[in-house]
Amino acid sequence: MNWIHIAVKDLKIIMREKIAWLTMILLPLVVVTVAGFALSGLFSESVPDLKLAYSYSGNAENIEPLIHGLEEIEAIQLVQTGSKEDGMKLIEKSSVTALIVIPEDFNVGNINSEFTVEFYYDVSSQSSSGILQGMVQGVVNSLNNSLVTIELLARQAEQYGANTQELLPQIVEKVRNSFHTTERIGIAVQGVGGEESNESFYQVIPGFAVMFLLFSIIGGATKLFDERQNKTLRRILIAPVKKSDVIIGKWVGMTIEGFFQAVILFLAGKLIFGLSLGDNPLRLLCFLLIAAGTAGAIGVFVASISKSLKQANGLAMLLFMLMSALGGSWWPLELTPAFMQTAGKFTFNYWAISGIKKLILFNQPLLSVGFEMVILALVGLIFLFLSFEYFKFE
């Protein structure tokens, strides 16, 4: 049972190191706080409007339906400019995100003409521009539908012998009014899976938590090399201690450290930003412990096969970056191409994130993440076995 003494000693050393405290507690706290402020929606009222400039030199009455449609969208702040050039300058100065140039002859009442509204955007803020483009497109679509309606009504009236020229202004007026007021078909939105949440924050937190678990790989490898260098590892092996005790002791130490970090991250998320930990947080703790064990085993393996501290750090960093990127710690895997999603399944991060999401987002029972836990445990056991085989004690 010497592995217990080795693990306890390692944890004591961690508790005495100021830098270890910094990475273990402060770093997850900072990350969760920054992510929380950025993504939790807690301060959504202060989210700035999307500024859209428009230029039009014709009769204001002709574009009134279009402008009114845009004004009704709360997220848009409209800015009128004198000319297209003035609007472009505003984009260059980042004063507005996009500019629409409305042709001079634009008139909703002129059903026989075609118009093109030009949309210019700031290439440095493509996401905001994309959202704005979607909003403008929505308003333009509504107007198009109105114009089709007017045309149909006019043709119908003609068939019944009505004087279209006389009736058209009245039809246009009716349709224009209905465009502003009628909302016949609405969409009722309902979230599924646990509490109402902010998708971005809930995507980021499991990803970061898993990333912190992987940090133990780097830390663990460094610590093991310190022990090799100052010959304390040699001293331990000269004592009646089995080599397996050394490996297990190191693994347990790394596992507890990683687990503690992940717990702090979730706890901070819960306390500061009301992150849901599911109905029974014990499920999450249980899952995190298994995930931490797997990360610890990968850490011991990296330390086992490396010949120098430099090599261990390099290999650990490579694994850390690769698995975090492919496994969904940095961005939702759904956004990546199919082959990357497949590759992601071969990473520790994918399975750990998948399990955590099921527990905190969908509030599922522990049994529902059984597959993830089995995969993680198997991976951990394989890496531990390889560590026993290839551990370099000198």
Among 11, 157, 237, 382, binds other proteins (CB under 8 A): 237
Among 236, 288, 291, 298, binds other proteins (CB under 8 A): 236
Among 73, 131, 241, 285, binds other proteins (CB under 8 A): 241
Other Cβ atoms less than 10 A from the Cβ of 357: the count is: 20
232 binds other proteins (CB under 8 A): yes
Secondary structure letter of residue 58 according to DSSP: S
Pairing of strands 76-81, 50-55: parallel
Among 188, 238, 338, 367, binds other proteins (CB under 8 A): 238
Tokens (6 digits) for 120: 């210019």
Tokens (6 digits) for 133: 């483009």
Element (H, E) at 55: strand 50-55
Closest CB to other proteins among 68 and 235? Answer: 235
Closest CB to other proteins among 47 and 239? Answer: 239
243 binds other proteins (CB under 8 A): no
248 binds other proteins (CB under 8 A): no
**C-alpha angle with apex 330: 328 to 334, nearest 5 degrees?**
45
25 binds other proteins (CB under 8 A): no
Tokens (6 digits) for 287: 């899952």
CB-side neighbour CA atoms (13 Å) of 354: 21
Residues in the chain: 394
Helix, strand, coil: what percent of the chain each, to 5? 70, 5, 25
12 binds other proteins (CB under 8 A): yes
| Locus of tokens 């590759």 | 343
Closest CB to other proteins among 12 and 68? Answer: 12
Among 174, 180, 234, 345, binds other proteins (CB under 8 A): 234
Among 230, 280, 308, 342, binds other proteins (CB under 8 A): 230
What's the closest the beta carbon of residue 392 comes to other proteins, in angstroms? 14
Residues that bind other proteins (CB under 8 A): 2, 5, 9, 12-13, 16-17, 230-232, 234-241
